[in-house]
Amino acid sequence: MSMNNLGIVKRGIVRADAAAVAKLARFGVATVHEAMGRVGLMKTCIRPIYAGAHLCGTAVTVLLQPGDNWMMHVAAEQLREGDVVVAACTTDNDDGFFGDLLATSFRARGATGLVIDGGVRDVKDLTAMQFPVFSRAISAKGTVKATLGSVNIPVICAGALVNPGDVVLADDDGVVVIPAAIAQQAADAAEARDANEAGKRKQLAAGVLGLDMYKMREPLEKAGLKYID
If one asks whether residue 66 binds a copy of itself (CB under 8 A), the answer comes out as yes
If one asks whether residue 214 binds a copy of itself (CB under 8 A), the answer comes out as yes
| Inter-residue contact 53 to 169 (CB < 8 Å) | no
- Site residues (CB under 8 A) for a copy of itself, limited to 99-128: 99-102, 104-105, 107-109, 119, 121-124, 127
Minimal distance, residue 73 CB to a copy of itself, in Å: 4
If one asks whether residue 193 binds a copy of itself (CB under 8 A), the answer comes out as no
d(CA 48, CA 29) in angstroms, rounded, equals 13
If one asks whether residue 92 binds a copy of itself (CB under 8 A), the answer comes out as yes
- Site residues (CB under 8 A) for a copy of itself, limited to 150-189: 154, 156, 159-161, 171-174, 176, 179, 181-182, 185-186, 189
Among 14, 26, 44, 192, binds a copy of itself (CB under 8 A): 44
Site size for a copy of itself, by CB under 8 A?
108
If one asks whether residue 80 binds a copy of itself (CB under 8 A), the answer comes out as no
If one asks whether residue 25 binds a copy of itself (CB under 8 A), the answer comes out as no
Nearer to a copy of itself, 84 or 160 (CB): 160
If one asks whether residue 82 binds a copy of itself (CB under 8 A), the answer comes out as no
Minimal distance, residue 94 CB to a copy of itself, in Å: 6
Q: Which residues contact 48 (CB under 8 A, 6 or more apart)?
A: 132, 133, 134, 170, 171, 172
Minimal distance, residue 14 CB to a copy of itself, in Å: 12
DSSP E strands in 24-152: the ranges are: 47-48, 55-64, 83-89, 113-120, 133-138, 150-151
Residue 85 CB-half CA count within 13 A:
36
Among 20, 55, 95, 111, binds a copy of itself (CB under 8 A): 95
d(CA 162, CA 106) in angstroms, rounded, equals 19
Minimal distance, residue 189 CB to a copy of itself, in Å: 7
Residue 227 CB-half CA count within 13 A:
3
d(CA 219, CA 225) in angstroms, rounded, equals 9
Among 17, 25, 148, 191, binds a copy of itself (CB under 8 A): 148
User: Considering only CA atoms, which of 136, 137, 130, 74 is closest in space to residue 107?
Assistant: 130
Among 21, 24, 36, 133, binds a copy of itself (CB under 8 A): 36
Q: In sequence order, what are the beta bridge partners of 151?
A: 9, 62
d(CA 173, CA 164) in angstroms, rounded, equals 23
